[in-house]
Amino acid sequence: MCGRFVQATAIEKVRLIIDIANQLDSQTNFNIAPSTAIACVRQLADGSNHLGLMRWGLIPTWAKDIKTSFKTFNARAETLKEKASFKAAYKYRRCIIPADGYYEWHTENKKKQPYFIYHSDQQPLLLAGLWELWQHDGMSIESATIITTAASQDIQFIHPRMPVVLTTQQAPQWLDVHQQDSKQCDALLHAQAGLKWHRVDPKIGNPRFNNDACIQAIAG
């Protein structure tokens, strides 16, 4: 599961990894919750990569209202081809969500302790995602979801699930909307080991707590 994450320096750093054709005003959010606008990279029909804002929580094309998005901020890698909400997006509308790191909670001494999980080299996490365009009653909303998989052994003690993190080499293949070979995409949906983590302030459970103190390590 991935229910909170950070986009601070990641949006600018991702330009050093992926060739992006457009500009996007810097968005800094240290405590992103579902339904928030997030920066996503997707490939356009002309083959160029575009960085834009989408609502976090994928709204399927058939949904009658946007409430569905609260249940679809994550998509399980194991069932992407089965779920009506995700199977078309998996084939035609893949995206990458750059993140400085993400938060996960672990119960310790009967209390939920949040952890911040990030790349050991301070590079952005390239989270595998899907996006969709929802249109209804004159409204048009682009939304996205983060794909999760079974956690790598080194962080299973925190949570059994984690986002799918792509490598720099895997990113172009994931974004290629002309690449519809499901076996090649399936091969990318696995856990990445070697991430770092530390305990952070439990106040991040409140989305209003939103500054660089969110990611600072605390004792424990």
Which of the residues are catalytic?
2, 104
What the block records as the tokens of 102 is 């993400």
Instruction: Label residue 79 exposed, middle or buried (CB < 10 Å: 0-12, 13-18, 19+).
Output: exposed
CA angle, residues 139, 31, 124, in degrees to nearest 5? 95
Question: In which region does residue 219 sit, left (phi positive, over 0), alpha (psi from -120 to 50) or beta (all else)?
Answer: beta
| Element at 10 (helix H, strand E) | helix 10-13
